[in-house]
Amino acid sequence: MKKYAVILLGTLLWGVGSAADAQASLTIRFYDKRIYYVSEAPIYIQVTIANPGPVPFRFKLADERAFSLDFDVRTPANREIDPADTLIRKRSRQQQVYFREVSVESGESFSFIEDIRDFADLRQSGSFVVQAKMYPELYRETGGLGVRPLVSNRIALTIRPSIILGPDGIPLEMDAETNAVLVREKLPPDEIVRYLLTARQKSQWEKFFLYLDLEALLARDSVRQRQWLAESEEGRIRMVARYRMEIQNATADDNIVNIPSEFQIERTTYNEIEGTVTVQEKFRVGNVTERKRYTYYLHRKDDIWTIIDYLVTNLGTE
């Protein structure tokens, strides 16, 4: 009851119409633009509140974003997509709403990332138009005491049918450039590494991740490994998707996403199930070229080699 009183008091002190008075803007974009599939989580959206006005813009940001944000998702025929079951449950419970007060100064912006699947029931393939609403005084079923929500731009979202499984049970990926199916082929370890590095040089992310065993790479970190073991199957899917996004944004395992200006495979050794490929890679940094030796470790399962680990040794500059 004490927290509820704080929320009411905060609303009275901030007053009505603060969102309009501060002239803040709300924009959304895909945080990790890629090919999206039915039942594949997550679809991350970056939400940005910008303040182009002369005075600070203050708003409440709920710890549970369902009380600060909403997504309006519609088909091209303007049919509204139902809210996600989890969103309905969150808003239906009797609970305290914890929040923090955020102040965006003039000329500054504030961003955060949300999974749109937490807000909209996106279990069918098709094309959609997405728009966000942000409630500066928190979401309430009875309205926001006259405070108008911020309304964002619209973005187009396409969701494909479920991922197709190949004849050997390995999921098929789609080439973002050609829309052709990418299939893991029975290549030797050195060709797997060459495929990975060439894809990185061309910024072809779907190809880059095709032969990476993200679960194995994730488990190299003891903290992540403990989290993995404690997660449900759905939680593990989310962990892998989040880890993939972190790699792509160079916030995790940034060494593997460095783009080599050139590379040379030095040595390849392998037996029936394990392989090692050593590569000398060069990277342009300003006016110098850094040389590094990468050792990739691979594992063979169902006749397919995937990269499960790697080490990096600095060789100096030239």
- What residue ranges do the domains of the chain occupy? 2-160, 173-317
Greater confidence, 172 or 223? Answer: 223
Tell me what the mean pLDDT of segment 223-233 comes to.
82
> Among 3.40.50.2300, 3.10.450.50, 3.40.50.1010, 3.20.20.70, what is the CATH number of 173-317?
3.10.450.50
Cα–Cα distance measured from residue 209 to residue 214, given in angstroms and rounded to the nearest whole number: 8
Find all residues with CB under 8 Å of 258, minimum gap 6, and list them: 281, 283
Non-local CB neighbours of 129 within 8 Å, separated by 6+ positions: 73, 74, 75, 76, 154, 155, 156, 157
Do residues 152 and 131 touch, judged by C-beta distance below 8 A? yes
Confirm whether 2-160 and 173-317 share one CATH topology: no
Please give the C-alpha separations between residue 116 and each of 38, 48, 123, 210, 213, in angstroms, as whole numbers.
Answer: 13, 15, 12, 25, 26
CA distance 214 to 308: 7
pLDDT band at 23 (very low <50, low <70, confident <90, very high): confident
Residues 85-94: what's their mean pLDDT? 85
Q: Which of 25-29, 89-93, 230-234 has the highest mean pLDDT?
A: 25-29
Mean pLDDT, to the nearest integer, of 184-191?
91
Q: Which CATH number fits domain 2-160: 2.60.40.2360, 2.40.10.220, 3.40.50.2000, 2.40.30.20?
A: 2.60.40.2360
Query: Is residue 16 pLDDT above 60, yes or no?
Result: no
Q: Count other Cβ atoms within 10 Å, centred on residue 145.
A: 15
State the CB neighbour count (10 A cutoff) for residue 43.
22
Of the candidate ranges 85-99, 105-119, 273-287, the one whose mean pLDDT is the lowest:
85-99
Selection from 172, 164, 132, 124 nearest residue 149 by Cα: 132
pLDDT band at 140 (very low <50, low <70, confident <90, very high): confident
pLDDT category, 93, cuts 50, 70, 90? Answer: confident
162 pLDDT band, cuts 50/70/90, is low
